[in-house]
Homo-oligomer: A and B are copies of this chain.
Amino acid sequence: MEVVFVCMQKRKKRDWSLTTEAGELEMKSVQDVDFAKGNGLVPVIVQEIGSNEVLMLAYINAEAFVETVSTDHACYFSRKKQALWRKGEESGNVQKVLEIRIDCDNDTILLKVEQVGGAACHKGYKSCFFRALDGIDEWKVVEERVFDPKEVYKKGDQS
């Protein structure tokens, strides 16, 4: 039996709409992703379109993948909360997905996105990779902060 994941148009509260007209979407691409290797999750590299800067690494499960494809907005799976993580749901700093790539082993996804608000990191930096190794011992901050996390995450939820 062929397994087909189905994404239902059930979340009416979102400020973006699903791209399917039928309200229900079959998606074969998700079956090519090797979720089994990582116990249901695969890493997702998030890259800014244009600059090609790497913004962050997240994890995605089949459900989050289907939502990302069908909404063109990044949805991940939070390992900490064990729940879907709609990036920018609180802060408004969503990620518009412009291209989705898969690697040769089918176990890593690459998203090319437009980062609304200009910063992906919950610590206020454009990229989560704002520290570089200086010499062999010390990690040094090498980027400028874009926003103050205290202002953006008023409820303490950093998404």
> A27-B136, A29-B138, A136-B25 in contact; A131/B102 too (CB < 8 A)?
yes
Closest to A137 in B: B28
A121 in contact with B104 (CB, 8 Å): yes
A118 interface contact, C-beta 8 A: no
> A29-B133, A132-B99 in contact; A108/B57 too (CB < 8 A)?
yes
B132 in contact with A105 (CB, 8 Å): no
Cβ–Cβ < 8 Å partners of A45 in chain B:
45, 54, 57
Cβ–Cβ < 8 Å partners of A123 in chain B:
104
> A45-B45, A54-B54 in contact; A29/B129 too (CB < 8 A)?
no
A82 interface contact, C-beta 8 A: no
Closest to A20 in B: B136
Instruction: Tell me the A residues contacting B by CB distance below 8 Å.
Output: 25, 27-29, 32, 43, 45, 47, 51-54, 56-57, 69-70, 99-105, 108, 110, 121-123, 125, 128-133, 136-139, 142
